């Protein structure tokens, strides 16, 4: 983890596969005081990507058909 920078990593655990974002938080003196973390289920990321990719391909296809 880089000091003061947002880090991302994939974590596999007994609860499932997660993609984690971690940001260390510092006080005004530069002391690390906390960490802000968020976990997103990797399967949810894949579902969202598939949905958005399918939608984009559909829109591109419609646009090409209308140009003819």
Q: Say if residue 1's pLDDT is above 70.
A: no
Look at residue 3 in the predicted model and tell me its pLDDT.
Answer: 64
Contacts for 27 with CB less than 8 Å, ≥ 6 apart: 33
Q: What is the mean pLDDT of residues 3-31?
A: 89
Look at residue 61 in the predicted model and tell me its pLDDT.
Answer: 87
Supply the pTM of this predicted model: 0.55
Look at residue 47 in the predicted model and tell me its pLDDT.
Answer: 92
Give the sheet arrangement for strand 32-41, strand by strand.
7-13, 16-26, 32-41
CA 34-38-18 angle, to 5 degrees, is: 130
User: In the structure, what pLDDT confidence band is assigned to residue 39 with cuts at 50, 70 and 90?
Assistant: very high
Strand 16-26 versus strand 32-41 pairing type: antiparallel
Angstrom distance (rounded) from CA 67 to CA 36: 48
Percent of the chain with pLDDT over 70: 96
């Amino acid at each position: 983890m880089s000091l003061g920078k947002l880090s991302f990593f994939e974590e596999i655990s007994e609860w499932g596969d997660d993609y984690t974002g971690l940001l260390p938080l510092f006080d005004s003196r530069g002391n690390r005081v906390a960490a802000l973390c968020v976990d997103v289920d990797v399967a949810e990321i894949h579902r969202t990507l598939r949905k958005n990719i399918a939608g984009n391909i559909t829109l591109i296809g419609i646009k090409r058909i209308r140009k003819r």
